[in-house]
Amino acid sequence: MPSVSRTFAVTPPPATVIDYLKDFSNAEQWDPGTQTCTRNDAGPVHEGSTWHNVSKIVGVEAELTYTLESLKPDQLVFVGKNESSTSTDTISVEAHDGGSVITYHADLEMHGVAKLLSPAMKLVFEKLANDTEKQMTEVLNKL
């Protein structure tokens, strides 16, 4: 199972970071792979809220339904699923020097024949994690 993790600092405090990131439709701004991300339900974002996410990674388009599995003042857990994969994104946020330190951890579990792609996906995920760290830092620092 490919897994990546990045830890980095941003200027906004944790409450601001969590409030922004809990709405996964914002992934269009901070995730370089996300093409579109549309919320499926309405009202305030809560545990159980879902989004339809279309991503393009190395030229391959994937559609996943993401669910906010856990919403805490210092951590978010999103789980995205389709027939060929399950992606679990855990975002932890700690206060640091008036801003925040973010640890972004992503696990990708491939299903069925797609499991054969797991070793190659690890390399792709490492590059994507670097790009995500850079883009997320830029977006959050503008809040």
Contact 103, 91 (CB under 8 A): yes
Question: Would the pLDDT of 2 be above 90?
Answer: no
Tally of domains in the chain: 1
What is the reported pTM?
Answer: 0.93
Q: Which residue has the higher pLDDT, 39 or 2?
A: 39
Residue 115 has what pLDDT? 62
Cβ burial of 31 (10 Å; 0-12, 13-18, 19+) is buried
**pLDDT exceeding 90 applies to what percent of the chain?**
79
pLDDT in tens, 88-135: 999 999 999 999 999 999 998 888 765 655 566 677 778 889 999 999
Residue 141 has what pLDDT? 98
> Domain range spanning residue 112?
3-141
Question: Would the pLDDT of 52 be above 80?
Answer: yes
Residue 108 has what pLDDT? 86
How far, in Å, CA of 17 to CA of 124, rounded? 26
* Mean of per-residue pLDDT scores for the chain: 93
CATH number for position 61 = 3.30.530.20
Residue 120 has what pLDDT? 64
The token duo for 93 is 């946020």
Q: Any alpha helices (H) in the chain, and if so which ranges?
A: 14-21, 27-30, 118-141
